Structure 1
Amino acid sequence: MNQKPEDRAISQTNHELGSQFDCEYISSTIKAAKDPLPWKCMLYFIFISTPFSIFAYAWILSTFVAAVCISIIPFIGCFFWWLCALSWRSLGRIELLATRLCYEADIDIELPPKVYIDLSCECKIFPPILDKYTWRCFAYFVFVKWFITPFTLAYATILFVIWFLPPCLLLSSKGLILLGKTQYDLTRQFLLDD
């Protein structure tokens, strides 16, 4: 068939645009596969967040119940509450440090609160027990983290499965980065912001 010169020019232009789009899509897909941030987010959600959430939930509830029961023995009960508070603060610190995997490394991140509290604070007797950060850690792991973990795990697993389908790699990478930044912001907002 003979094509008119203007039809040939249009089809040649469309072919050039299609190949240019293919090259841009392939290069952006390769760039997404090389980006370490989605890989770190996937590592966090599948292998760190879920097991740690289950452990923290069980640990905090069991130590809370034990501390309430042991409270009938005055000195031992107070000491046990103090140890429980320190362990909850440690779990919160670990969570704050672990969520850093889901954020860019080039920003300046402040350190999370210390596990031990300076004894010069207002409460002289049991500062870790009465500290706001301690009870935020308790509420975060018992209510917030326990509730969102199944959803984030399901979402991250779906993105992990479609990760290996080349057309979905770019979308999956962006979805993992968005999920990681959301988790990072939620954790810092709940545990650190007043």
Structure 2
Amino acid sequence: MNQGPENPTMSKIEDQTHANNKPRHYCAQFFSDTLDAAKDPLPWKCMLYFIFISTPFSIFAYAWILSTFFAAVGTSFIPFIGYFFWWLWALSWRSLGRIELLAVRLCHETSSDEKPPEVYMDLSCECKFFPSILKDKYTWECFAYFIFIKWFIAPFTLASALILFVIWFFPPCLLLSSNCLKFLGKMQYKLTTKFFPN
């Protein structure tokens, strides 16, 4: 028995139903993604880092390193005491570098089989007195990072984080804000971990 031709009216109805279901599907998917973004702890941690940790710490580190550098240069003419101050200030710069490495881990999304890099610590160098600690590359990397790099990018990352924080409270923008915060955190993490040896 031959099957008759399809009813064109029924085909139109099916196409219309499929077309009506498409926007609903996209809306449901968007709502689900937005809800997942709100539950994701990584954007919250990135926001915490950029607004409450990165900028205040950058200002402190810049002022501390610059002032201690000039203090160390000024005391260089005093035998033994100048050496002690150079070692003390250099040790403090290295400590600031370690704090930054620990803080920037907030912006890192670790999988189950991945661990963030260990914080660099060379006890053999730090137990030695002047001038070994000043000849160490890590000491001057800390100096350059906080004086030339972090000091200049901190205002831009703070402004970006504040803008993303404001639009975070508009539900249609929450997903965009969440993704942008994660991207900003990823870039900051890559910059810090590549600049400092781990």
* Partner residue, 2:32: 27
* CA RMSD, Structure 1 to Structure 2 (Å): 1.9
* Partner residue, 1:117: 123
Q: Distance in 2 between matches of 1:88 and 1:119?
A: 14
Find 2:92's aligned residue among 77, 87, 90: 87
Q: Is the 8 A contact 2:167 2:177 kept in 1?
A: yes
SS in 2 for 1:105: coil
Q: Distance in 2 between matches of 1:81 and 1:132?
A: 15
Q: Does 1:191 align with 2:196?
A: yes
Shift of 1:12: 2.0
Shift of 1:82: 0.2
SS in 2 for 1:74: coil
Aligned length: 188
Unpaired stretches in structure 1, ≥5 consecutive residues = none
Q: Distance in 2 between matches of 1:19 and 1:168?
A: 19
* Partner residue, 2:137: 132
Q: Distance in 1 between matches of 2:17 and 2:126?
A: 77
Q: Is the 8 A contact 2:90 2:139 kept in 1?
A: yes
* Partner residue, 1:169: 174
Q: Does 1:57 align with 2:62?
A: yes
Shift of 1:117: 3.1
Q: Is the 8 A contact 1:162 1:169 kept in 2?
A: yes
Q: Distance in 2 between matches of 1:125 and 1:42?
A: 40
**TM-score, structure 1 length as denominator?**
0.90
Unpaired stretches in structure 2, ≥5 consecutive residues = 1-8
